[in-house]
Structure 1
């Protein structure tokens, strides 16, 4: 290890090996009994040089065999110390300076500790700068307690240990699997069924193997980080509990048919209510049923039952179709019969009313002229009866003469 100026300026108090590797300090070691208790800074700044190089005005002088520094008078005991300081100065400026072979930094290379501290302090202040990405939110804590939430962009916080910042992903949509695990099969392919989570009891006391997913993201970063110790575990337990409650309200057919949409909506709303009661900061964006089946042990019997139900449904549908075809025809025939009955009723009533009116007219005429009315009725009835019948009219005044009746003409043909 070479003797670098920075070696014993920046690290002299922390790395003892620097002392052993620098010839300057090896020379000083010979005088260790006299200056062992002195600090290096005392040696460095009492050579008669300032921190930025040599100063002729401060150069030690010799007056009457005695050495003085900074205008003061030293006792005889400091003569040897002056020799040590001069040796160090010559080594630093000559032996290790620009003009020497040591390749050093020359005179005035020592950095004042104040500037080192100032640089470290500046770096410490700059460590408070942080950037929040567009998909993140900055959650700042002060002494471990929540202080504020910052939006995406460049921000500043108090450096450690006063403030710290966490950057959860708030726009990313996460997917939680319940009842199964993707990639849990052999060699990392396929899915693994987790029966402890998927077996549930339906409202009609059937057992169903139900796998579903929950899509969620962080709605409130502060609540997500500080209100719940393990948000994802809490979400998984809450989702399983909510789905058991929802599926317990419905029969198994609802989970196997198009009513899945209803179950998913109920589960999402109830799960969000539960998570809000925990102040978890989680926003549920969707619940989706992935696979709904009976348990593997009874799946064959269940399929037979489903086939029988399908056959029964088929027969019911055929019967319903036949009924839909026959009932309109029967209704049409019934309407026709009712219309005919109404028409017959109207005709009969009209005819009866006409006959009643005619009878009343005859009665009024009979009361006025009974004989005439009687003869008219007699002749009307005879005309009605004898109309269309062959007739022979014989006068009642003919006497003594045998009337001749042409019976062969009066008898119908083929009759008697």
Structure 2
């Protein structure tokens, strides 16, 4: 029989002086002999716990084969196993893992307690609650809507906001919903910026300005809320008129593009024509200067020529006059193909169209080569003006005047000259 077997008829065999008091006192163990109480007995604790549980169940006992009943120790072992299993399950359920890109926000009974780093961690179940928050991924938020511009037009704008969570605690507990608050702030900032610019500028060259202004206003709006997020970029994706007026607006855009195209074409034409006109003007100026110089030099040459001719004229006027006449006629008749023949004693004037005859002769030439006019119809040599008068007409007005002057001079002398071929 064991030294500490219960029911030993009051004989205490416990070497530490403790005994089981079945009389129902609250301690259940008495300190005998003045010695201190030893460590508690686990079997005794679980046995008392089993008694209390059986008391809640009615205290029924199952008789054994010997006519007695099973003791409380057998039922206490069941309770112990159940309690141990509950404790093991409870402890095992407290293990959790935080990913590398996340941070764990631990709340104890609903109040923030601490931040948990990535890895395997443990928490007391039903006491602590862990909320993992991704702090490395880039999140996107889209904002769009129909907005009013400064010139009272309506435009549909789409914008994309990229941000990252930098403070998990502030992200979860600073506002009710940080993502929804950021969406509302983005919509407010975008509407405020769109209302400052006209529709043409928003749709054309003002896209960068709208983007920068929206990002600046959005950062100023969310800063007082301290939501634990950082804006990375704001992308102005699309701006277009509403579908109801899209056709008319497309026509306006096409007209504006045509206007710009015509302006560019006009500028290109101006850039092409202006240098050419400048060159032409410069050429005219140079030709004018050259003509001026040439005229001056020719006049000076004629003056020098007449200055040298004057002594000769004074020495022999008749011979000099005839020589001048012959030179002038030779110079004039060398540029005309028409010959005028005046018959003596007749008022008829014959005109030989030598130019037309020369053209016909050149067209009917078998060899296909044009023949010079001097070889077909040679002009008669000039003779001394003595008895007749024959004048040659030129298309040149100045030349005709010279011939008429000579003709009047010959008429005064009463001489006639015949020049030409029969």
TM-score by length of 2: 0.52
Contiguous gaps of at least 5 residues in structure 2: 14-18, 23-59, 298-302, 330-405, 410-422
* 1:330 correspondence with 2:256: no
Structure-2 change in CA distance of 1:332 and 1:224 (3 Å): farther
Structure 1 residue 130 corresponds to structure 2 residue 96: yes
1:294 counterpart = 2:246: no
Give matches, 1:13-28, under 5 Å. Answer: none
Distance 1:165 1:242 in 2: 34
Counterpart of 1:91? 64
CA contact (8 A) 2:163 2:230 kept: yes
Structure 1 residues not aligned, in runs of 5+:
1-53, 62-66, 76-86, 98-106, 180-197, 352-381, 395-402
Question: Is the radius of gyration larger for structure 1 or structure 2?
Answer: 2
1:271 deviates by: 1.9
Output aligned runs, 1:6-405, within 5 Å.
Answer: 55=2, 58=5, 60=7, 91=64, 110-111=76-77, 128-157=94-123, 160-161=126-127, 163-179=128-144, 198-257=145-204, 259-333=206-280, 385-388=306-309, 391=312
**Other structure's SS at 1:387 match:** helix
Distance change >3 Å, CA 139–CA 335, structure 1 → 2: farther
User: 1:342 & 1:146 partners in 2: Cα distance?
Assistant: 98
Distance 1:276 1:234 in 2: 12
Deviations 1:74-108 (A, max 9, x none): 99xxxxxxxxxxx97983999999xxxxxxxxx96
- For 1:115 and 1:307, the matched residues in 2 are separated by 85
Indicate if the aligned counterparts of 1:59 and 1:69 stay in contact, CA closer than 8 A: no
Cα deviation code 1:218-242 (max 9, x no counterpart): 2321111011112122112111111
Indicate the residue corresponding to 2:325 in structure 1.
412
Alignment RMSD: 4.7
Q: Structure 2 CA distance, aligned partners of 1:296 and 1:316?
A: 30
Distance 1:232 1:211 in 2: 18
Q: Is contact 2:106–2:112 with CA below 8 Å preserved after alignment?
A: yes
CA 1:344–1:412 in 2, change beyond 3 Å: closer, same or farther? Answer: closer
CA displacement at 1:327 relative to structure 2: 2.4
- Partners of 1:92 and 1:267 lie apart in 2 by 89
Q: 1:118 to 1:388 in 2, by over 3 A?
A: farther
Q: Cα distance 1:327–1:110, how it changes in 2: closer, same or farther (>3 A)?
A: same
Shift of 1:215: 3.1
Bigger Cα displacement from structure 2, 255-264 vs 107-116: 107-116
Shift in alpha-carbon separation, 1:57–1:233, aligned structure 2, 3 A? closer
With the length of structure 1 as denominator, give the TM-score of the two structures: 0.52
Distance 1:95 1:308, change over 3 A: farther
CA contact 1:137–1:149 (8 Å) conserved in 2: yes
